[in-house]
Structure 1
Amino acid sequence: MSVFRILGGAVLGLAASVALAADPDQSIRATLTTLQPDMPIEAISESPMTGLYQVHLKGGRLLYASADGQFLMQGNLYQYKNGDAVNLTRQAESKGVAKEINAIPISEMVVFSPKEPAKAHITVFTDTDCGYCQKLHSEVPELNRRGIEVRYVAFPRQGIGSHGYNSLVSVWCAKDRQAAMDKAKLGQDLPAATCDNPVAKQYELGQMIGVNGTPAVVMGNGDLIPGYQPAPQLAEAALQSK
């Protein structure tokens, strides 16, 4: 998202020529739409820090702004509480991510479920051409044995039209998605298939919530874990965050 590149994690003072509206919501919106007209703003509210407002973007991401909209900040807001530094930004963003992930119909995923009722689930943004995705997939039976349901969504790292994209489309369009995923993760070529599929939509969602590589694992509470983790460690994290 271009606004994050614009801000670069720093405070930005805008020129006085930016027209300011009468209330914080209007002032902040005016600033952000000047920077990026299609900014996906979902809500603006007061943050836990007095005088600082938080901007909720579609996908769960947060920005912070002054009431007059002249100062913007991208980064983490911490609260020192009971002897610990609590990352308030991560808490809020995780809730937003969980909302987006939970809105994905199960029918649009490739799901590997335990034989017994699942104790927890993880949602994995995956690319069939990714070596660590293949390694993680080899441990899906162990995750299932530990009670973790694995829900795959598509994230072709090389973009729409790439080999990974076409492979993922073939998986999603196969009669048996699980078998097709197993073959793809073993590096086997799949029969080319086309259908009405969610691969591009899921790729866009991944970018929106901050996925920039695979595998990217989303816990039940919306926490995003980038990269591969061994099954025992991943299962423990899933059980703690359900």
Structure 2
Amino acid sequence: MTLFKKPLVLAGALAALLGSMAQAEVDASIAKTIKARLEAGNPKASYGEVRESPISGLYEVDVDGGASTLFVSKDGSHFIFGDLYQVKSGGGLANLSEERRTSRRAKVMEAQDIDDMIVFSPKGEKKAHIYVFTDVDCGYCRKLHNDVPELNRRGIEVRYLAFPRAGLKSPSYRKIATAWCAEDRNSTLTALKNRQKVPLNVCANNPVAKQYKLGNEVIDVRGTPTIVLEDGSVVPGYVPPDRMASALGI
């Protein structure tokens, strides 16, 4: 996220302030004014479409691919940065911003080319799948990878995407790119995670940079492993197989 790093929480005091998530199309002149003011204030960020928010008088604008959202005044001169919560009439809170992000993540991940991933599939019936942003130089990534046979036994397919935490100019990038460039990608990834010596081979047009960008700009990966479930929910960090199966309803 560019220049938007510490969101604050916006919680409605009254449920009546918050309408449904259904939204009408915003007047083009209002949308143009809001985006122009935001771009003038912070030209380094990228801004998505302007939408009506559940709070009267404020408009929603996604920042940098939708990882964060601004709630902006009609003239674009003021905004609130953070998550919008709804106080439910029956009690409890609903994070409306996270619900929107979750739905968007599910669509984005489903649209990714599975041929660009390193996939470990169950031998029997596949009951669910998870997406895992991984690094080869990550202790908990190794721990999760050791669980892959058990996850597969439970019917969970593991779809790996590359996320070299040290960046695209690091030794970690060259290692993980070697796995994606290998003839036997699954065995090579396993060998690298087991700290075996593998000749480095970074081929042209490998998908590592694209997946790294996806993790940074859309999924908002902040560490590895980061697991994305089919419904778009994010599970940061390592989760044992029994808890993962439970989360997936298996």
Q: What is the TM-score with the length of structure 2 in the denominator?
A: 0.85
> Aligned equivalents of 2:190 and 2:223: distance in 1?
20
> Aligned equivalents of 1:185 and 1:206: distance in 2?
20
Task: Call closer, same or farther: CA 1:129–1:170 in 2, change over 3 Å.
Answer: same
Equivalent position of 2:211 in the other structure: 202
SS of the equivalent of 1:239 reads coil
> Aligned equivalents of 1:57 and 1:167: distance in 2?
32
Equivalent position of 2:226 in the other structure: 216
Which structure 1 residue ranges, 4+ long, deviate > 6 Å from structure 2? none
CA contact (8 A) 1:60 1:92 kept: no
Equivalent position of 1:113 in the other structure: 121
Shift of 1:60: 2.9
Shift of 1:36: 3.0
> Aligned equivalents of 1:89 and 1:22: distance in 2?
23
Mapping of residues 42-81 of structure 1, within 5 Å: 42-57=48-63, 59-61=65-67, 62-81=69-88
Shift of 1:149: 0.9
Equivalent position of 1:146 in the other structure: 154
Note if 1:40 corresponds to 2:38.
no
Paired amino acid for 1:200: A
Shift of 1:238: 2.9
CA contact (8 A) 1:59 1:100 kept: no
Task: Call closer, same or farther: CA 1:233–1:22 in 2, change over 3 Å.
Answer: closer
> Aligned equivalents of 2:216 and 2:127: distance in 1?
28
Equivalent position of 2:169 in the other structure: 161
Equivalent position of 2:7 in the other structure: 9
> Aligned equivalents of 1:57 and 1:162: distance in 2?
28
> Aligned equivalents of 1:152 and 1:58: distance in 2?
24
Could you list the runs of 5+ residues in structure 2 that have no partner in the other structure?
10-26
Task: Call closer, same or farther: CA 1:119–1:59 in 2, change over 3 Å.
Answer: farther
> Aligned equivalents of 2:118 and 2:220: distance in 1?
21
RMSD (Å) for aligned C-alpha atoms: 2.0
> Aligned equivalents of 1:10 and 1:69: distance in 2?
19
SS of the equivalent of 2:65 reads coil
Equivalent position of 1:14 in the other structure: none
> Aligned equivalents of 1:103 and 1:50: distance in 2?
34
> Aligned equivalents of 2:28 and 2:188: distance in 1?
57
Shift of 1:117: 3.0
> Aligned equivalents of 1:224 and 1:189: distance in 2?
32
After superposition, give the CA deviation of every residue in 1:125-166 in whole Å (9 maximum; x if it has no partner). Answer: 000000000000000111111111110000000001211101
Note if 1:30 corresponds to 2:32.
no
> Aligned equivalents of 1:136 and 1:35: distance in 2?
43
Could you list the runs of 5+ residues in structure 1 that have no partner in the other structure?
12-20
Paired amino acid for 1:235: A
**Percent identical residues:** 46
CA contact (8 A) 2:48 2:66 kept: no
Equivalent position of 1:17 in the other structure: none
Task: Call closer, same or farther: CA 1:89–1:22 in 2, change over 3 Å.
Answer: closer
Instruction: Decide which moves more: 213-222 or 75-84.
Output: 75-84
Equivalent position of 1:15 in the other structure: none
SS of the equivalent of 1:76 reads strand
After superposition, give the CA deviation of every residue in 1:38-80 in whole Å (9 maximum; x if it has no partner). Answer: 5332311011222221112453322221222122222111112
CA contact (8 A) 1:136 1:228 kept: yes
